[in-house]
Amino acid sequence: MAYRVRPAVIGCAIRPAIIGRDRSLEEIIYDISQAALADAGLVIEDIDGIVVGCNDQFDGRAISVMMASGPTGGVDRDILSTPSASEHAFVLGALRVASGHFSTQLVVSWSPTEASSMSEAQRLGADPYFHRALPLDELSAHALQASALNHVWPNAWVFAEAVAAKNRRHGAVAWPDPPARPRAGPARWPLTERLTTQPVTGAVAMVLAGESFVAEHSCKNPAWLHGMGWATEAAFLGDRDLALAPALVAAARQAYTEAGVIDPTAAFDVVEITDATAYAELIAYDALGLAPRDTIAARMADGWFARGGRLPVNLSGGVITFNPVFCTGMIRIAEIANQVRGCAGPHQLEGARLGLAHAGSGFAMQYQSAIVLGAS
Amino acid sequence: MSGAKDRDRVGIIGIGQSNFRSRRDDASYPDLVREAVVPAMLDAKLDFDAIDAVVYSLSPDAMVGIGNAERLGVDAVGGRNKRFLRINTGGATGISSVTAAYYHIASGVCDVVLTAGADKVGECGDSQTVLNKIWDPTYERALPLGTINMLAMSAVRYMQRYGMTEEDMAYVTVKNRRQAALNPRAHLRKVVTIDEVMESRVISWPIKLMDCCPQSSGGAAMVLASEQFIRDNKLDAVWITGVACRAETYWMGDRMGTNPTAEHADAYALGRSFEQSYRMAGITDPANQVHIAELYAPFSNTEYHAIDAARLVAKSGESVKRVRDGEFELGGRLPVNPSGGTLCTNAIAVTAMARVAETALQVWGRAGAHQVEGARVGIASGNGGDHQIFGTMVIEA
């Protein structure tokens, strides 16, 4: 392992779907930051630095990190932001702890739904000359990816339906409170309503610490970082084969090399995948090396990726259960941290020791990350 | 926390900057990024296979009119299938990006990291229209607040507290324009007089047109590497020996009070950030140990409190007299903004990176006509948000 200091996740907070308007965004960010600190048994004075993952278009502000300095505890503290993706805030927080310059980091991300049109906010991310007029939003890009996969794997739609059904079953266990389960979302062919989910407001925060801090503070159940990879694909969809995910292959290679994972099909107890659509989960099985494409059908028939199967994927219910769009990537990492810490809640997998989190974001999952966390 | 000297250092091995201008109709946004990346890579004598990760430097998306415009820059930085993330801390973004690149290497994960970006502020229509939207929409946006009147209020407070005059502000502009005239990359290079600054139209009293930075277009890029990589490959480098970041409150209403954090004349968090950078670099007497400073000051008055916060003077407010005495100009004891600084060039996404790049060039002895003789230790700073998020660095030969 390359890290100068080994980072661990010592506190996590995932806010269930926030329904209604009784809390401002500042209050939501304050609540989630304090909840993660409380989970770690710390107060803000214990925190050396903060990294937030927030997005100007979704927040409806220019430089949205500015508003966050108060509610996260960033005043008179080191605070940076990664607007590219929520998961990048985790990556940078982990790098800062790994450098030994910081004992602790608070990483926070959120995704409001106050934008009058999420689709229009996302369309601003398309280049103004070629793609914006299509019109292209994230769901349309996911639909193009689904089409690409159906083209090379004509039965993919059958397995996509099965993946969505599996994740909804998992979601019913993980989030028994009905308001946490948003309605089926708008369809974009070939994505049916069953394969999409309405965006909801959400927030997530984690506390990271270095190994000496963990020892000195007797932190309970740390989730140790074993490996971390992140990579990007090109922006222009025409430059990509959307049925493949070379950036995820690269990210997985980085993470597995750091973690010493040789056979990913047998290495992990539990996995969280950013199922922005069920097709994205199918692509990730292959790109992460969890199941080559020609084995997926047989494994799904055996319940391999379901609760009780050999490698449960998305016991949290995944994005199709809970879709705070911008912070779904960091939520996957927090879910795996909680699984290996043994505090995932109703969907805890008994004896989970090593987990893999996949975070993907952008048009047709342009940004891809893979994070390996373990109980020891 | 421990200092850089306790561990392997991180070095700067390549620098590229555009010649900044009002408009660059000849170059698309990714073209401008590439324009800086190519000379940085040539300077580092590396090809793209050597780059382990990219940190993309881009402040508000609205400035280029594209949401998450960093995605369109992926090919310009050679980022496909590589580690890639973007930083945004407003005007501090450039130095925050170098800071993030630093941690990629200091963590032990990467050996070589490219950080790059560009901005087309000169072509965004009006940057103030974008920047008017950084304030809270419910309480403060409607006052109305803008980045200029925000810092005009700071100027008024600085006048009241330390006796700065409008002529003192003009003196900074005159100094920095004279220095920018020697820097072919600077945007505003025309030498001006005190009278010309004083006669320029009032934008938000006491800030006049010539007390303001321009809206610039251009790119910047830097290549950083681990000490081990630099030694193994026998590369030339200068070293980042101090690095820090500090934030203040978001709310302008919280900048009025008796607490030091609420003194809008000063730059409290900038001072705190410099304290930490100096501690890491082992600098105890910056006024005598630092040879050159590139301090982010988009309006003439803000250079004074930046000099104060960097402790280049014994106490706050002393900077006014010392600038008048010529101590901080090229040829003086400790030149501040020998490149002309932010006051003469402001492509927001990379302005604070240019502060780091210019400091690095100075301690490298490669700054050209605005070289500070014998500079071996330099400092750089960046300010972002509503004078809220500050980054600082110490760079040594």
Q: Do domains A7-117+202-223 and A138-195+226-374 have the same CATH topology?
A: yes
Based on the structure, what is the number of domains in chain B? 1
Instruction: Find which of B57, B109, B123, B248 to mutate to test the A interface (most A CBs within 10 Å of its CB).
Output: B109
pLDDT of residue B364: 98
Residue A50 pairs in a beta bridge with A79, A106
Nearest Cβ partner for B108 among A3, A123, A126 = A3
Mean pLDDT of chain B: 95
Cis peptide before B206 (omega within 30 of 0): yes
pLDDT of residue B356: 98
pLDDT of residue B35: 97
Taking 60 as the threshold, does the pLDDT of residue B374 lie above it? yes
Taking 90 as the threshold, does the pLDDT of residue B151 lie above it? yes
Instruction: Find which of B5, B7, B63, B83 to mutate to test the A interface (most A CBs within 10 Å of its CB).
Output: B83
Nearest by Cα to A293 from A307, A311, A279: A279
CA distance B255 to chain A (A): 12
Classify strands A78-81 and A49-53 as parallel, antiparallel or unpaired.
parallel
Position B178 in a domain: no
Cα distances (Å, whole numbers) of residue B373 to A152, A353, B330, B333, B368: 64, 59, 9, 10, 11
pLDDT average, residue stretch A63-83: 95
Report which listed range, B7-16, B122-131, B296-305, is most confident.
B296-305
Nearest Cβ partner for B66 among A125, A229, A362 = A125
In chain A, which among 69-98 make CB contacts under 8 A with chain B? 69-70, 74-85, 88, 91-92, 94-96, 98
Taking 70 as the threshold, does the pLDDT of residue B6 lie above it? no
pLDDT of residue A178: 65
Classify strands B10-17 and B238-247 as parallel, antiparallel or unpaired.
antiparallel
Look-up of token digits 């990714």 = B30
Nearest Cβ partner for B250 among A66, A229, A233 = A66
pLDDT of residue B1: 42
The verdict on a CB contact (< 8 Å) between B83 and A84 is: no
pLDDT average, residue stretch B259-288: 94
The DSSP secondary structure of A114-155, one letter per residue, reads: -SS-HHHHHHTTS-TTTTTTS---HHHHHHHHHHHHHHHSTT
Helix (H) or strand (E) holding B395: strand B389-396
Enumerate the residues of chain A whose CB falls inside 8 A of the CB of residue B79.
Answer: 232
Position B65 in a domain: yes
Enumerate the residues of chain B whose CB falls inside 8 A of the CB of residue A79.
Answer: 89, 245, 247, 389
pLDDT tens figures, B240-270: 999 999 999 999 888 888 788 888 999 999 9
CA distance A36 to chain B (A): 21
Nearest Cβ partner for B74 among A60, A128, A235 = A235
The verdict on a CB contact (< 8 Å) between B67 and A124 is: yes
Q: What are phi and psi of B304, to 5 degrees?
A: -65, -50
Enumerate the residues of chain B whose CB falls inside 8 A of the CB of residue A234.
Answer: 74-75, 80
Q: Which domain holds residue B25?
A: 4-125+215-232
Reported residue count of chain A is 376
Q: How far apart are CA A66 and CA B290, in angstroms?
A: 31
Enumerate the residues of chain B whose CB falls inside 8 A of the CB of residue A369.
Answer: none
Cα distances (Å, whole numbers) of residue A136 to A26, A54, A141, A326: 30, 21, 7, 17
Taking 90 as the threshold, does the pLDDT of residue B130 lie above it? no
A180: pLDDT confidence band, cut at 50, 70 and 90?
Answer: low
Please list the helix, strand and coil fractions of chain B in percent, rounded to the nearest 5, in that order: 40, 20, 40
Enumerate the residues of chain B whose CB falls inside 8 A of the CB of residue A364.
Answer: none
The verdict on a CB contact (< 8 Å) between B385 and A63 is: yes
pLDDT average, residue stretch A31-40: 97
A67 reaches B (C-beta below 8 A):
yes
Enumerate the residues of chain B whose CB falls inside 8 A of the CB of residue A81.
Answer: 87-89
Look-up of token digits 């391999």 = A304
The DSSP secondary structure of B229-263, one letter per residue, reads: HHHHTT---EEEEEEEEEE--S-GGGGSSSSGGG-
Mean pLDDT of chain A: 94
Position B116 in a domain: yes
A143 reaches B (C-beta below 8 A):
no
The verdict on a CB contact (< 8 Å) between A124 and B137 is: no
Nearest Cβ partner for A233 among B56, B80, B108 = B80
The verdict on a CB contact (< 8 Å) between A65 and B68 is: no
Q: Is the ipTM of this complex over 0.90?
A: yes
Percent of chain B residues topping a pLDDT of 90: 88
Enumerate the residues of chain B whose CB falls inside 8 A of the CB of residue A121.
Answer: 67
**Residue B28: CATH number of its domain:** 3.40.47.10
Cα distances (Å, whole numbers) of residue B18 to B21, B29, B126, B215, B218: 9, 12, 21, 14, 5
Position B166 in a domain: no
Nearest by Cα to A270 from A349, A188, A171: A349
pLDDT average, residue stretch A40-44: 97
Nearest Cβ partner for B66 among A92, A124, A258 = A124
**Strand, helix or coil for residue A251:** helix
pLDDT average, residue stretch B360-371: 98
The verdict on a CB contact (< 8 Å) between B385 and A366 is: no
pLDDT tens figures, A99-133: 999 999 999 999 998 888 888 899 999 988 888 88
Residue type at position A97: V
pLDDT tens figures, A152-172: 999 999 999 999 999 999 999
Look-up of token digits 């503070």 = A217
Residue of A nearest to B58 (CA): A83
Residue type at position A220: K
Enumerate the residues of chain B whose CB falls inside 8 A of the CB of residue A78.
Answer: 244-247
Taking 60 as the threshold, does the pLDDT of residue A244 lie above it? yes
Which has more confidence, A178 or B374? B374
Inter-chain CB pairs, A–B, below 8 Å: 205
pLDDT average, residue stretch A62-77: 94
Enumerate the residues of chain B whose CB falls inside 8 A of the CB of residue A363.
Answer: 71
Please list the helix, strand and coil fractions of chain A in percent, rounded to the nearest 5, in that order: 45, 20, 40
Taking 60 as the threshold, does the pLDDT of residue A373 lie above it? yes
pLDDT of residue B7: 55
pLDDT average, residue stretch A3-21: 89
A169 reaches B (C-beta below 8 A):
no
pLDDT average, residue stretch B316-333: 96
pLDDT of residue B5: 47
Q: How far apart are CA B71 and CA A239, in angstroms?
A: 13
Q: What is the pTM of this model?
A: 0.97
pLDDT of residue A224: 98
What residue spans define the domains of chain A? Answer: 7-117+202-223, 138-195+226-374
pLDDT average, residue stretch B153-163: 97
The verdict on a CB contact (< 8 Å) between B249 and A67 is: no
Position B195 in a domain: no
The verdict on a CB contact (< 8 Å) between B88 and A65 is: yes
pLDDT of residue B144: 83
Taking 90 as the threshold, does the pLDDT of residue B17 lie above it? yes
Q: How far apart are CA A90 and CA A83, in angstroms?
A: 12
Enumerate the residues of chain B whose CB falls inside 8 A of the CB of residue A3.
Answer: 107-109
Residue of B nearest to A26 (CA): B136
The verdict on a CB contact (< 8 Å) between A232 and B68 is: no
Q: What is the DSSP letter of A182?
A: P
Position B117 in a domain: yes
pLDDT average, residue stretch B174-192: 98
Which has more confidence, B357 or B257? B357
Q: How far apart are CA B209 and CA B198, in angstroms?
A: 9
Nearest Cβ partner for A3 among B58, B72, B109 = B109
Look-up of token digits 């277009």 = B217
Position B9 in a domain: yes
A56: pLDDT confidence band, cut at 50, 70 and 90?
Answer: very high
Cα distances (Å, whole numbers) of residue A104 to A93, A97, B6, B45: 9, 6, 19, 36
Nearest Cβ partner for B107 among A67, A98, A127 = A98
pLDDT of residue A132: 86
B3: pLDDT confidence band, cut at 50, 70 and 90?
Answer: very low
A22: pLDDT confidence band, cut at 50, 70 and 90?
Answer: confident
Residue of B nearest to A128 (CA): B66
Choices 3.30.465.10, 3.40.47.10, 1.20.120.450, 2.40.40.20: CATH for A7-117+202-223: 3.40.47.10
The verdict on a CB contact (< 8 Å) between B107 and A49 is: no
CATH number corresponding to A138-195+226-374: 3.40.47.10
Residue A16 pairs in a beta bridge with none
pLDDT tens figures, B308-318: 999 999 999 99
